[in-house]
Structure 1
Amino acid sequence: MSGLASTPHPLVIAVVGSGPRGISVLERIAVRATAEAAEAGRSPRPVRVLFIDATEIGAGRVWRTDQDDWFTMNTVISQVTMYSGGPDGGPDRPGAGPSLGEWIAHRHETAGEPALGPDDYAPRVRYGQYLAHVHRTIAEHLPSHVELVPVTGRVTALRTGPDDRYLLSLDTAPHLLEADRVVLATGHPFNAPDAFERTMLDFTERTPGTHYLCGDSAADMALDEDTVPPGSAVGIKGLGLSFYDVMLSLTVGRGGTFEQAAEADGGGELRYVPSGREPHIVAGSRSGLPIPARGRNQKRPDFSHRARFLTRDALVAARQKRGGSGQLDFAQDVLPLLQQEIDHVFYVTHVRNSAGPEAAETFSDAHAELLLSGEDPGPLRAAAGLGDVPPVDLDALARPFGDTRFASPEEFRERLLAVMDEDLAQAELGTLDGPLKSALDVLRDIRNVVRLAVDYGGLLPASHTGFFHGRFLPVNALLSAGPPMARVEQLRALVRQGIVEVAGPGTRFEADDAAGAFRVASPQVKGSARHVQSLIDARIPTPDLLRDTSPLTRQLVAEGMVRPYVIEGPEGEEHATGGLEVTTSPFHVVDAAGRIRPDLYALGIPTEHTRWFTQVGSSRPGVNTLFYQDADAIAVDALRPLGTGADRAAAAPAIIPAQQANSRPGQTGSAASPGLGAAVGARRGEGA
């Protein structure tokens, strides 16, 4: 239970940030502390957990429970859980509780809340409510020796006190807290403007009537009618997931509705009924393609893709072949193996659809053997009737317009709608039965192995910055993490009705002083130039330790308590990633002098670039995910007895170089910490 009376010398753990990552650590602390008490047969040393958030305790900022319901998750509800174990017939509690889908079904049955099927997508606000439920059940079922103290406020500084405890400064009462261990789980950052953003902001300062909004969660953007007046033209930079949130805020959020047209009126297609308060939306991006739809889900929550080519052993072999630092070239060493995984699933699915599961299994074994041996699979594919079916071309899918020049916006619009129609048709086939969407789902299913290649300086610096970040990640983001089909159908309706206009490939956004407005245009679409009074960046800011405007981050950097992670190459070349440097599990922070801080941890988005794809916001039911393992490792380490920090620091290197000695799979920078390779070996899947 929560609310234990204060004791003289409890172990105090501060968790800064109460979104999914913070809750995951709290849940595992509760599970581990309960088990510890049961094993001891008596109450162990007292533990106090300070659970700190500036927005909403138990949900955080992005998932807060007062946001509008048109902001939607992009993972089906059956594949999302925050409990590290499933229901067991007892009360919801740490280690045993429902998935998001099960919780929503129960709320429908008991409270009459809207029902959703297991393969539906929930509004973000409902996930926030689920997180609040998880937090509440943790608080209600803590063992008697654990006290949970919620603290609403922003941590502005973190320093060590005279007794080596941490002192946390807050912008609200009690203004100063003490803790023995601190977990930084602070989520999405607010960055200082980059060069483009400064240019746009400067333009708005000297140009009355114009507005520029930097990238952020759409729920926190000023998308009101003062900023974007009805009937005005507004530009949107970026066509990813956040674009859909902004689009809906400016349409449904203005009172418009979508309805299915009668067969006689439009073949049953979706149409938008405007309220009259909408702006005209002009959107664009590098590709000119709105992020495609995720395939109709056909996978069980515990589905696990069996990798045949991009495996841990294959990466180990590639590192050994490279010699020296063992760092990989993503384009040469990793992408070909990933492409084989994608093509294999693509062709096997085709055979299953045409000839049945037995034929598909036979084909799968023969096809895999040919690929693994380096032989030509062409004759086998031809014998299966697939000789004219080309492999999956990721670049062509992500850049379907290529260098094509369009004679008019109308010509581009028709091509765009045709691409969207085809994408929706492929998505409707599903993530198991649809050859294309099942193949693209491999990008999501195999993230853990890609992490083995990339994390902790696993790539050569030039490969990390040039190919992985510059070329692969934009394609991967576009093809692996799409919105629900319904969102793409809504966009298609808005494009058809002229409410949304996509400028075209290579969209340029400029400040036009002569026109007193922003200019949006595609160099590949003749006549596409449009002037807009407001410009919205619909891209979530990339974590960058040195651009983060958080007072806490700035203080930690200025005083050398943290440092950016730097990848060093075999010839001494360096790349500063912008990620906060941490050791491998359990993710101790590394300070500016290269010293490991055994009582300070960082998890999730702040460590992006040191580790890859840290924005995962849930675990998956029935799967031992990395999300769960990360939280558990920190919980175990944070609960170790007081007075052992110095011993652990002595056991680890006193100073480590920017290119960590523990950056290779299977190694660790902290004594008694499980190696990354061992941890991944135990995994069967990952949430997204």
Structure 2
Amino acid sequence: MTGLPTDPQPLTVAVIGTGPRGLSVLERLAVRLREMPAPRRRLRVYAIDAVEVGAGRVWRTDQQDWFTMNTVVGQVTMYSGEPDDGPARPGAGPSLGQWIAERARTHGEEPLGPNDYASRLRYGQYLRSVYRTIAEHLPEEAELIPVRDRIVRARPRPGGGYDLLREGDPAPLAVDRLVLATGHPRNEPDPFEREMLGFAAGRPGVHYLCGDSAADLDLGPDTIPPGTTVGILGMGLSFYDVMVALTLGRGGTFTSLPDGSLRYEPSGREPHIVAGSRSGLPIPARGKNQKEPHYSHRALFLTPHAVEQARKRRLAETGSARLDFDEDVLPLLLRELDHVYWTAHVTARDGREAGERFADRHATVLLAGGDPAEVLREAGLDGIPALDLHRLARPFGDRHFPDLQSFRTELLEVMRRDLEEADLGNSEGPLKAALDVLRDIRNVVREAVDYGGLRPSSHQEAFLRRFLPVNALLSAGPPRYRVRQLMALVEAGVVEVAGPATSYTVDEEAGGFRVASPRVAGSARTAQVLIDARIPTPDLRRDTSPLVRALLADGLVSEYVVEDAVHGERFETGGLAVTRAPFHVVDAAGRVRTDLYALGIPTEHTRWFTQVGSSRPGMRTLFYRDADAIAADLLAGAPEEPSSDGRALVGAAPGAPAEGGRA
């Protein structure tokens, strides 16, 4: 950085949103500042959050402690380096697990092991401690100013930078550079939601709650009195949060039984819960963690080189480097899972050395394009069912059940079998070891799909509509104890699962919402309250944030659109258009705004799986690299390389011709 500490005009940066993504940028800024040689220009950073500076909305520290993370504490860190002999500071600080262990020692707080799960409240407290550490270890020529307010507009200044207009203060904040890390959106209702909201309006005691973080839903007894029938749409991670709030949060308790299962003791203040989803299956449990924090699966089949080669083939064959997910990516991903699955079976049966010998031979055959059937037969695996993601995600298929009891019996059996697999672990258990690869391989999948890497039709149909629902169900489950709690609630009659293909309609005659599965006779129930337990999908045009709406209206941001002239296809993604790292925003005219950045969930669909909320100890994760790229550019001010006409080629896939896309 140029300039002297006495420069009258500091470089002024604002980070809007101080959850994990915004905090990661602040942490890397602090590290880079301390590593830069003096003299340095002064730096002023505004850390802005409408809910809680240093934690954000989802992780805020005033929420109840029954909302739980789904990653073990030993694999979570917000520091870009591990602790050393010095004090905790940016670039060298404790993981969440280490921080909790230290708090247990010094403050008598509840200890957790590295493979335990923390509450979101506790993670929020950890985030706040990281924020304080950043503030305490900035060099003297830098200042960090917390601003708890909502920014409603970013007005460009003639000489560059922005005036930030605040909801709670008429005086604008003048900044040279702006980082958007605004996290999960709240969207305007879609047609289904408008119908549900309209039906509930004017009917006392009837409520529809749009999808949101469970901590922000009105789940209290005024809205949901004891004994009320509550319908829940979706049975993913947020479903478990709502379930716990309406049971444990109402004073119910779980008792452990000798066989390891749980029994629920109701308080009498619970509602009656009727849940459903497309699959009819609550999201299965995460496998018992057996991996070290720095563990990284070494891909053999779905590798960056394989993706690059597939692009070259597509370009030669079609004139476009865009991939077909079903043909170019999914077979390699399934091969990766199969290899781990079969190897874990051999290792569990015959020991590590036998597993390694099998793995070498199996991989050799697959890499040569051969049929592995003979290898499986010789290893004695031909009698074991093959891994079938669709069957796992849709265990009931198209079957019909004669009554709710028969479906309930089978559902509980499916859940019991899954828990048995989860208890075997994510390394030693063949099923959960294979499914964990879905998490480990995300970065390579991103190389295939990000920035219009797929044909638009393939991205919409194969990736978004077919693969992602299965991937989300099988790769991101809750802790095992949550599934045991759900089973206890089903057995106690507090929770019913309607069945596959659950429908949610209004019932004018009954004056409530009808929840029913067409495949389970007698499943229909009338609910006074309907809760959408799905986190809203980012969609730039539906985001209700005043800031996002103003940025769109002023032409400062644009939707990422993939146009494929070779195939005659177009895909309006709903994501915010950004360049590759350092993620400069692309405006409505297609120009790169080098003083405006966006990171995380607002850019979902331009990039994939941006909801990651932490880094991992000892690893240079993408989460860390994303933050560092922005921090480096904020301090250096290097502009993004534009195309010859001044527009950013953000829509082009790697290796694709320039016509490949636009914002």
- Alignment partners' CA distance in 1, 2:605 and 2:543: 14
**Is 1:375 the counterpart of 2:370 in the alignment?**
yes
Which of 502, 516, 519 pairs up with 1:521? Answer: 516
> 1:535: which partner in 2?
530
Q: Secondary structure at the match of 2:178?
A: strand
CA distance in 2: counterparts of 1:463 and 1:253, whole angstroms: 43
One of 167, 174, 183 as aligned partner of 1:171: 167
Q: Distance in 2 between matches of 1:403 and 1:203?
A: 31
| Aligned equivalent of 2:630 | 634
Alignment counterpart, residue 421 of structure 1, candidates 402, 416, 419:
416
What CA distance in whole angstroms lies between the structure 1 residues aligned with 2:225 and 2:100? 37
Q: What letter is aligned with 1:560?
A: G
In the TM superposition, what are the counterparts of 1:171-320 in structure 2 within 5 Å? 171-173=167-169, 175-261=171-257, 263=258, 267=259, 269-320=261-312
5 Å-filtered alignment, 1:444-463, equals 444-463=439-458
In the TM superposition, residue 289 of structure 1 has moved relative to its aligned partner by 0.3
1:562 aligns with one of 557, 565, 571: 557
Q: Deviations over 1:325-380 (max 9, x none)?
A: 21001011100000000000000011111111111111111101111122111111
Q: Does 2:155 correspond to 1:159?
A: yes
What residue number does 1:123 align with? 119
Which secondary structure state, in structure 2, belongs to the residue aligned with residue 639 of structure 1? Answer: helix
In structure 2, which of residues 414, 434, 442 is the aligned counterpart of residue 439 of structure 1? 434
Match of 2:620 among 624, 639, 657: 624
The secondary structure found in structure 1 opposite 2:573 is strand
Unaligned stretches of 5+ residues in structure 1: 670-688
Q: Identity across aligned pairs (percent)? A: 63
Shift of 1:269: 2.6
Please tell me whether the aligned partners of residues 236 and 535 of structure 1 are also in contact (alpha carbons under 8 angstroms).
yes
Aligned: 1:487 with 2:478: no
Partner deviation per Cα, 1:389-425 (whole Å, 9 max, x = no partner)? 2321000000000001000000000000000000000
How is 1:310-349 mapped onto 2 (pairs within 5 angstroms)? 310-323=302-315, 324-349=319-344
Counterpart AA for 1:202: G
Q: Corresponding residue for 1:664? A: 654
Bigger drift between 21-30 and 560-569 goes to: 560-569
**CA contact under 8 A between 1:294 and 1:483: conserved in structure 2?**
yes
Q: Distance in 2 between matches of 1:72 and 1:259?
A: 19
CA 1:665–1:411: 2 relative to 1, 3 Å:
farther
Q: Deviations over 1:570-607 (max 9, x none)?
A: 23321100000000000000001100001100000000
Give the CA deviation at 1:72. Answer: 0.2
CA distance in 1, matches of 2:415, 2:171: 53
Q: Deviations over 1:519-568 (max 9, x none)?
A: 00000000100001000000000000000000000011111111110112
Change (3 A) 1:141 1:326: same
* Cα pair 1:12 1:48 within 8 Å, conserved: yes
2:230 and 2:641 mapped to 1: Cα distance? 58
Partner of 2:31: 31
| Alpha-carbon spacing, 1:120–1:666, altered in 2? closer, same or farther (3 Å) | farther
Give, in angstroms, the shift of residue 667 of structure 1: 11
Q: Does 1:547 align with 2:539?
A: no
The match for 2:84 among 78, 85, 88 is 88
What letter is aligned with 1:31?
Answer: V
1:356 aligns with 2:346: no
Per-residue deviation at 1:259? Answer: 1.2
Question: Which residue of 2 is the match for residue 684 of structure 1?
Answer: none
Match of 1:674 in 2: none
Distance 1:406 1:649 in 2: 58
- The residue number in structure 2 matching 1:677 is none
User: Which of 566-575 and 121-130 deviates more?
Assistant: 566-575
Tell me the residue number matched to 1:470. 465
From 502, 505, 510, give the equivalent of 2:505.
510
1:296–1:427 contact (8 Å) kept in structure 2? yes
Spell out, residue by residue over 1:302-343, the C-alpha distance to the aligned partner (whole angstroms, 9 max, x if none): 001010000111111111111122100101110000000000
CA change 1:50–1:589 in 2 (3 A) is: same
Deviation at 1:651, TM superposition (A): 5.4
Q: Tell me the SS of whatever aligns to 1:258.
A: strand
Distance 1:166 1:43, change over 3 A: same
The 3 A distance-change label for structure 1 pair 98 and 650 is closer
1:277 Cα deviation from its structure 2 partner: 0.3
Q: How does 1:30-49 map to 2 (within 5 A)?
A: 30-36=30-36, 39=37, 42-49=38-45
User: Counterpart amino acid of 2:313?
Assistant: K
Letter in 1 for 2:530: L
Query: Structure 1 pair 130/228, CA: closer, same or farther in 2 (3 Å)?
Result: same
The 1-side partners of 2:454 and 2:252 are apart by 48
- Determine if contact 2:322/2:656 at 8 Å carries over to the other structure: no
Is the partner of 1:400 in helix, strand or coil? coil
Q: Secondary structure at the match of 1:505?
A: coil
In 1, the alpha carbon distance for the partners of 2:387 and 2:555 equals 47
Residue 621 of structure 1: how far off its partner (Å): 0.2
Kindly indicate whether the alpha-carbon contact (under 8 Å) linking 2:584 and 2:640 is maintained by their aligned counterparts in 1.
Answer: no
CA, structure 1 residues 666+71, in 2 after alignment: closer, same or farther (shift >3 Å)? farther
Q: 2-side partners of 1:667 and 1:129: how far apart?
A: 47
**Residue 100 of structure 2 aligns with which residue?**
104
SS of equivalent to 1:476: helix
How far apart, in 2, do the equivalents of 1:650 and 1:369 lie? Answer: 42
Shift of 1:453: 0.3
Tell me, what secondary structure is at the counterpart of 1:472? helix
Structure 1 residues 151, 228: closer, same or farther in 2, change over 3 A? Answer: same
Distance 1:608 1:634 in 2: 17
CA separation in 2, counterparts of 1:371 and 1:484? 34
Q: Distance in 2 between matches of 1:87 and 1:668?
A: 45
**1:174: how far off?**
5.5
1:658, CA displacement in angstroms?
A: 7.3
Q: Quick one: which amino acid aligns to residue 83 of structure 1?
A: Y
Q: Which residue of 2 aligns with 1:18?
A: 18
The answer to whether the Cα contact below 8 Å between 1:370 and 1:376 also exists between their aligned partners in 2 is yes
Aligned partner letter, 1:440: L
Q: Deviations over 1:586-645 (max 9, x none)?
A: 00000011000011000000000000000000000001100000000000000125xx6x
1:358 alignment partner, SS class: helix
Calculate the TM-score normalised by the size of structure 2. Answer: 0.96
1:205 deviation in Å?
1.1
Cα separation, 2, equivalents of 1:571 and 1:152:
48
> How many positions carry a matched residue from both structures?
651
Given that 1:595 and 1:654 are in contact with CA atoms closer than 8 Å, whether structure 2 keeps it comes out as no
